[in-house]
Amino acid sequence: MPNILEVQNLAKNYGDFQAVKGVSFNIEEGEIFSLLGPNGAGKTTTISMLSTLYIPTSGDAIIAGYSITRNPMDVRNAIGVVPQDLALYEDLTAKENLIFWGQMYGLSGKSLANRVDEVLEQIGLTDKAKDRVKTYSGGMKRRVNIGVGLLHKPKLLFMDEPTVGIDPQSRRAILDTVKELNQQGMTLLYTTHYMEEAEELSNRVGIIDHGQLIAIGTQKELTKQVGETETLMLHISENDDPETLVTAFKGIKDVLEANVVNHEVSVITHSAKDVLAQVVTKANERGIKIHSIDIREPNLEAVFLHLTGRALRD
Amino acid sequence: MLKTFLIGIKDLRIAFRDRAALILMLAAPFVLTLGLGMVTGRFSGNSNNGLADIPVVIVNLDNKELGNALADVFRSEELAELVEPTFSADPEAARLLVDEDKSAAAIIIPAGFTQSIIPSQNAFAPGSPEPAVIPVEIYANPSRPTSSGIIKSIVDEFISRVEEGSLSGQTSILQLMLSGRITPQQAEAAGTAMGQRLQDAPNNDTLAITLNSSTADGKAVQFDVLAYLAPGMALMFLMYTVSYGGRSILAEKTQGTLPRLLVTPTNSAQILGGKVFGIFLTGTAQMLILIGASSLLFQLKWGDALGVIALVLAAVFGATGWGMFITALARTPAQVASVGSAIMLIFGIMGGSFISLDQLPPVVQNFAKITPNSWALDGFTTLGLGGTLADLSTPITALLSMGMILFLISVVLFGKKNLVQK
Ligand SMILES: Nc1ncnc2c1ncn2[C@@H]1O[C@H](COP(=O)(O)OP(=O)(O)O)[C@@H](O)[C@H]1O
Ligand SMILES: [Mg+2]
């Protein structure tokens, strides 16, 4: 498949601060490419340059044959953008928002009306289309925010952390929508700091940290770098403090890393069966009840840890 | 162009959905007009208002029938409340009174005024040219546009009746003479009678100011105070609307819609243009609604429709310039809002929305020239007094220039401020 996006040494400084330090990667037509990295890694800055909002300090990118620095208007026609923060008119209804944004993409008349109806269907808001956005739940607003990016049927869609701060159900709906869009032929650049999302969605992943791409490839390729590790995921009661366990587990020999992930405790080790007993004992000593334990194959979390010595979510 | 229009429409729609904005754009000026109208007695038939005892100095160098008749108009019972005439024989002294702001206007009735309208026997010798009418000079005080406007309208009304020569469909004396139906000797008597009639039975017309005889006692002079209050209030809250619109420019930045607009195939000039157009549309809609409502509900006569529309457009343009300027100077939407409210009040007071400018010190009157309120109010007063579009060239030019200058400064400031690019 040909590349729809080629990023060449893209860099951005805010004053003296280098937010993005020269990243290069390609996205093939038809794939979902994830930029995975912690907060402040430079994901939004990268997307803002690619969507022609910010002018790069150096470097360039070619999207659908057009340079983001030399042909920004052509780039804008080729891409759809779903910004990290909601960007909607809350006093307008979902439908009015979609109509307005469609007009900004040059749509009009019957084709605009049809397209708005299609998008409303796709984001599941046909019934609520005539309510003002400000009356919506966070999840519904996020869906409208996505819908705006789809109106002109872009070849390439940028989605910047579209699931931050919403309930699990809405999150599920959004992830399903992303997959559906991809099946319909849309190429996606998806940024996230959730390892699970990158794992579930992407064909390829770029791991970004401190403005640098530190690894890129399929999940298989990336996890190979880590070597043989396993991750134990401990599910504990809401009332118990996972941090005390993390501290305790770090003292166990053979435990490479312990972290809190969504109130679960993750333990990375070379051999799950060697540490399992000690993990359970330490928990019991502290009166913390373990509801369940998952043992997982090497994952992107482990890759990030391996490459940076830090957890993805600190 | 189309996108600019669409962005403007979008903003108009949003403004009219914002309940708080609607209260300030429409309800507040309406209620204040109503309230102040009651205080000043518009609704109780009492004609007392802010405009009383306008000082005017009259120099009657004519001392014949028509000159005396005009002077008597100002002495009349009907105008006793409205004007405070003084009489002088020295035109220079009279002009000086105006220059020193002791008088709103000087009326200088030139020698030979009557004769130029009602020629004497000699002048009417066959073959001699038809004498040109010698105009009455009105030396107006530019810092008292409203008062001098009223004086001017009284004189204009007198002159136009003289020139038309008719109070109740009579043929003009001049025509009568020229056609030989009365002799020049008779003309003098006719002139005297005419002067008398001009004084006694001024006609009734639809202007906001009338030397009228239609009120209960048949004596009161009416300047409809609402014709001053309603535009004053509308203009004051027009300043709210433009700062509301300016605020929305910065709000679009913080709410992320401006960056989002900039990643659509729309350039920044179209976007800024759209925002300005939105402010303009909203302000125009606000003014037209207020004008429409007060016409319907208070039977307020705003005057010449074409003039009103042109003046509204110019006033909103000038005010929009201010809205842009405030926005270009501010950093946050909240700053625009607070500066906007302050300017609304200051301009409201300085611009004469509450009290006639004539009653303010000269420094304030000069400062008032930077407000769109004062120019527009001046224009609305002219229209209320029966003026037309043709009489509005000064306020309209001032408002348009004000808007242009502020707009250009704002664009430069916006460029420096760099709304989006990082
Ligand atoms: N407008 C800005 N001015 C200065 N620094 C910024 C600005 N935007 C982002 N940064 C900094 O640049 C870095 C990258 O930010 P960002 O691209 O938003 O990261 P991410 O989206 O991955 O969380 C962070 O350290 C952030 O604080
Ligand atoms: Mg971000």
pLDDT value for B119: 61
Going from N- to C-terminal start, the domains of chain A cover 3-220, 228-297
pLDDT value for B177: 47
Structure tokens at B136: 């009455």
**Which of A63, A84, A89, A141 is the best residue to mutate to test the B interface, defined by the most B CB atoms within 10 Å of its own CB?**
A89
Q: Which residues of A touch B420 (CB under 8 A)?
A: 53
- Work out the percent of chain A whose per-residue pLDDT is above 90: 67
Q: With bands split at pLDDT 50, 70 and 90, how would you rate the model's confidence at B33?
A: confident
The overall average pLDDT reported for chain B is: 79
Structure tokens at A245: 């366990």
Question: pLDDT tens, B333-382?
Answer: 899 999 999 999 999 888 877 776 666 777 877 888 899 999 999 899 88
Q: With bands split at pLDDT 50, 70 and 90, how would you rate the model's confidence at B163?
A: low
Q: How many other CB atoms are found less than 10 A from the CB of residue B236?
A: 24
Q: Which residues of B touch A81 (CB under 8 A)?
A: 260, 263
pLDDT value for A314: 52
Mean pLDDT of B298-306: 86
Question: pLDDT tens, A265-278?
Answer: 888 888 888 888 88
- Is pLDDT at B167 greater than 50 in this prediction? no
Rg (CA), chain A: 22
Q: How many other CB atoms are found less than 10 A from the CB of residue A97?
A: 25
What kind and span of H or E run contains B280? helix B268-298
Q: With bands split at pLDDT 50, 70 and 90, how would you rate the model's confidence at A262?
A: confident
Give the CATH number of domain A228-297.
3.30.70.100
pLDDT value for A174: 93
**pTM of the prediction?**
0.74
Helix (H, G, I), strand (E, B) or coil at B255: coil
Pairing of strands B209-210, B222-223: antiparallel
CA distance A40 to A291: 34
* Closest approach of A54 to chain B, Cα-based (Å): 5
Domains of chain B with bracketed CATH: 2-41+224-417 (no CATH), 54-209 (3.40.1710)
Q: How many other CB atoms are found less than 10 A from the CB of residue A114?
A: 11
pLDDT value for B189: 58
Helix (H, G, I), strand (E, B) or coil at B59: strand
Mean pLDDT of A68-82: 96
pLDDT value for A252: 87
Q: How many other CB atoms are found less than 10 A from the CB of residue A19?
A: 22
Give the CATH number of domain A3-220.
3.40.50.300
Does the Cβ of A83 fall within 6 Å of ligand 1? no
pLDDT value for B224: 66
Q: Which residues of A touch B260 (CB under 8 A)?
A: 81, 83, 87, 101, 148
Q: Which residues pair with A8 in a beta bridge?
A: A60
- Least CB–CB distance from A81: residue in B3, B13, B263: B263
pLDDT value for B186: 56
Question: pLDDT tens, B193-226?
Answer: 555 555 544 443 333 333 332 333 333 334 567 7
pLDDT value for B418: 61
* Ranges A179-193, A246-260, B170-184, B262-276: which has the least confidence: B170-184
Going by alpha carbons, the residue nearest to atom 18 of ligand 1 is: A44
Question: pLDDT tens, B120-148?
Answer: 545 445 555 555 667 888 888 877 767 77
CA distance A232 to A250: 13
Higher pLDDT, A285 or B194: A285
